[in-house]
Amino acid sequence: MSNSRQDSKHITTIKEYFILGDAGRPELFDLFTDDFQFYFPKFGVGRGKAEFAEFATGLLGSLKSISHDIGALKFFEGTDYVVVEGTTQGEYADGTRWQGGETPGGRFCSVYEFASDGRIKRMHIYLDPDYAGHDSDRFLWGTSRVW
């Protein structure tokens, strides 16, 4: 786990990814190789910047806002990969809000692999895309849990 005061190049890239993504900035695409692979639940596996743009348009179109708690991210790093665990907060277009750590949704774990030039060549995101618990009818254990 990364505990150093100075972030590695890969961790800096991942933090930049979250900052640019939360702001909806197009420079986000510069962080990836042209043919990078990504995975997101309910979307599946995608390849390249055009498919990632399609994914992002669909996801962000359903949200009013989303942000990642950059300061609370936990990093686990190898030579050419980083695993990051964290939380998000945000609001759906319908006004339903979530806060990772306080609501059932909003926690994630992602795996990033890097090309030799330092750009992201693979990004697999693991989370429940039902951030605000809209699908509570299918919760197998009820909805009375304390989060």
Q: Kindly tell me if the per-residue pLDDT of 107 is higher than 80.
A: yes
| Contact status, residue 22 vs residue 70, Cβ threshold 8 Å | no
Locate 64 and state its tokens: 């009013």
The pLDDT score that the predictor gives to residue 144 is 55
Spell out the domain ranges in the chain: 9-18+32-113+123-131
The pLDDT score that the predictor gives to residue 105 is 85
Q: Give the lowest-confidence range in 117-121, 127-131, 132-136.
A: 132-136
When the pLDDT of each residue in the chain is averaged and rounded to a whole number, the result is 90
The string of pLDDT tens digits covering residues 40-88 is: 999 999 999 999 999 999 988 889 999 999 999 999 999 999 999 999 9
Distance CA 51, CA 98 (A): 27
Helix, strand, coil % over all residues of the chain, rounded to 5 = 30, 40, 35
| Contact status, residue 67 vs residue 89, Cβ threshold 8 Å | yes
In percent, the amount of the chain with pLDDT more than 70 equals 90
Quick one: fold of 9-18+32-113+123-131?
A: Nuclear Transport Factor 2; Chain: A, (3.10.450)
| Contact status, residue 88 vs residue 100, Cβ threshold 8 Å | yes
